[in-house]
Amino acid sequence: MLCQICKKNEVTVTIVRIVGMNKTDLNVCNQCANFLLGNTVSSFSFSQNNINEILINLLKAFVKYSKEENYISCETDKKCSNCGHSYAEFVRTGKLGCSQCYEAFRKQLKPLLSRLHSHCQHIGKVPNSIRVHLDQLNKIKEIKNELQQAVSKEEYEKAAKLRDQIIEEERRVGIRNND
């Protein structure tokens, strides 16, 4: 099979892109792979610039050589209403224009962030003192959900115990004043 980019050399590298349930292959020769990956394929140490260059080149290649023409054209035409930055600019530079771009390009960024970080929600570090408080609030929230389920099932004795448990937990956290 011939390289999808140069259409001259035999394919030796297959780059696979998976978005949701869609899989796209880009079959290229060694020379085109080195071009796309910024001649860093054989390097053992990558700097942040090399990795950025690789990702930018891969995004560009998939946009340019993918068979999913309609999907790509609607992705690259979209612009952020806040800063005017387009998805095509993100693909070209690897950088977003503002914080609103995350919302404007949510559909395109979500699978990318999921692949990079295994989730799309920020899970940062929280100081231990705050973590304990957050854990207590989450426990109260869970008990309230159980209470709603008990009421909907008409399990009033269980609901009364859960209500008392919520009151006690809220006192412990400092949400309720002592009656």
> Is the pLDDT assigned to residue 79 strictly greater than 80?
yes
pLDDT, mean of residues 67-72: 44
In three-state secondary structure terms, 96 is coil
Residue 51, pLDDT score: 60
Residue 43: left (phi > 0), alpha (psi -120 to 50), or beta?
beta
Q: Which amino acid is at 116?
A: L
- Contacts for 67 with CB less than 8 Å, ≥ 6 apart: 24
Residue in the block written with tokens 């009033």: 156
1-67 classified as CATH 3.30.60: yes
Q: pLDDT band at 144, cuts 50/70/90?
A: very high
Is 179's pLDDT higher than 80? no
What is the band of 18 on the pLDDT scale with cuts at 50, 70, 90? confident
pLDDT of residue 122: 66
pLDDT for 119: 67
Report in angstroms the alpha-carbon separations of 84 from 34, 87, 100, 103. Answer: 33, 10, 10, 13
pLDDT of 72: 42
pLDDT for 109 equals 81
Out of 12-21, 84-93, 160-169, pick the least confident: 12-21
Instruction: Please state the domain extents for the chain.
Output: 1-67, 69-124, 128-173
pLDDT reading at 43 higher than 50: no
User: What percentage of the chain reaches a pLDDT higher than 70?
Assistant: 69
Model pLDDT, residue 19:
67
